[in-house]
Amino acid sequence: MLAAVLLPGCTSYYLQAVTGQAALMRTREPLEQVLADPATPAPVRRQLLVVDAALLFARLALGLPPTSSYRHYADLRRPYVVWNVFAAPEFSLQPREWCYPVAGCTAYRGWFAEDKARAAAAGLAARGYDVFIGGVAAYSTLGWFADPVLNTMLGEDETGLAGLLFHELAHQKVYVPGDTLFNEGFATLVEEEGTRRWLGSRRDQAGLCAFQARQSRRAVVLRIVGELRTALTAIYASSAPVDQRRRERTAAFDQARASYATLRAGWPAPPWFDGWFAPGLNNARLVALSSYEDYVPAFRALLARDGGDLPRFYASVAGLGKLEAEARGLALQDLLQEDLLQAAADLSGAPASGKCP
């Protein structure tokens, strides 16, 4: 409420954020109460038990902070808790940013109501921006509130639920105000590594193979996205007339879709990544993908440099977070180069014999 008073130009936005968070907190019930209720559906009960096991694993095996979060459950009776709006200029991959108290600046603005998110996106589109609206299953209040488990988090399988918890808890471990790429890259790497260790601890070989297959496909699809971004960067930097750049931009998006379609044709079963290339693919959609993916390889290289030791890794990440933005960016670029060199070395070596088909 104080933010709404101090920033009167943003009053309507902050009021919806305050009321949305308050409604969420009012809806929650203690987990033990939900588990004891005979009316609780069996799938919900099963996944809430997974939450308890994943939180214990996160604290003991991953070194993530003990938390008062995820001890309650809230059924919001909608598919997403918030809808994030991303925007970027027609000829740029630099996102439009919004700045907030405490959290700093981010490449998106979240709305608790879908219609408000769509109205905000329409306003940005009318000003010439590319826009994208992404539904969000969970978000972290960075320990300011005891975040509940939400019905929106339970749509995935048990592995996805555990990974989502690891991701959100990572934000409570290290968070740099105003650096979306850093924060989401770190949390996504913790989700990835945490999920791998979680499945290994449960001796779930089938689950581990499925996870590794998804990660492998994801890496190939991300290469297509990377090629698209490289092509668009060249188009946007050119001095060609606007109409020509628009045609070239459209052709680049079409080429990316065609490359993905060819790739997907060789996959007889999920996981697929159709949503990444759906109609409406634009600069803002690429911004949303970048927010979560760009620095994951850098953090992967940092974890390898620290010998896979998570406490050392967290200390290294915290050290990066204390750097000035420019120095932090240069350090992450160096780590990206390390990851590329390691990937090249892996490709040149003998194939691993693993237990997955």
pLDDT digits (tens, 9 = 90+) for 133-156: 999 999 888 888 889 999 999 976
Per-residue pLDDT tens over the stretch 174-219: 999 989 899 999 999 999 999 999 999 999 999 999 999 999 999 9
Cross-strand partners of 150: 74
Q: Would the pLDDT of 93 be above 80?
A: yes
Token readout for 127 is: 């000003």
Report the share of the chain in percent with pLDDT over 90: 80
Task: Calculate helix-pair angle for 325-348, 180-201, nearest 10 degrees.
Answer: 40
Return d(Cα 129, Cα 287) in angstroms, integer: 12
C-beta separation of 121 from 133 below 8 A: yes
Task: Calculate helix-pair angle for 310-322, 296-305, nearest 10 degrees.
Answer: 120
Per-residue pLDDT tens over the stretch 247-276: 999 999 999 999 999 999 999 999 999 999
Task: Calculate helix-pair angle for 180-201, 283-293, nearest 10 degrees.
Answer: 60
Per-residue pLDDT tens over the stretch 1-56: 344 334 444 678 889 999 999 999 999 999 999 999 999 999 999 999 999 999 99
What is the β-pairing status of strands 104-106 and 149-150?
A: unpaired
How many other CB atoms are there within 10 angstroms of residue 171's CB atom?
Answer: 19
DSSP 64: P
Mean pLDDT of 56-74: 95
- Domain borders along the chain are 2-81+137-175, 205-346
Q: What's the Rg (C-alpha) of the chain?
A: 21
Cross-strand partners of 325: none
What is the helix (H) or strand (E) element at residue 86, kind and residue range?
strand 82-88
Could you tell me the pLDDT band of residue 356, with boundaries at 50, 70 and 90?
confident
CA atoms within 13 A on the CB side of 105: 7
- 128, exposed or middle or buried, with CB in 10 Å at 0-12, 13-18, 19+? exposed
Return d(Cα 77, Cα 152) in angstroms, integer: 8
Token readout for 281 is: 């693919």
The answer for residues whose C-beta is within 8 angstroms of residue 61's C-beta and 6 or more apart is 197, 198, 201
Claim: this prediction has a pTM higher than 0.85: yes
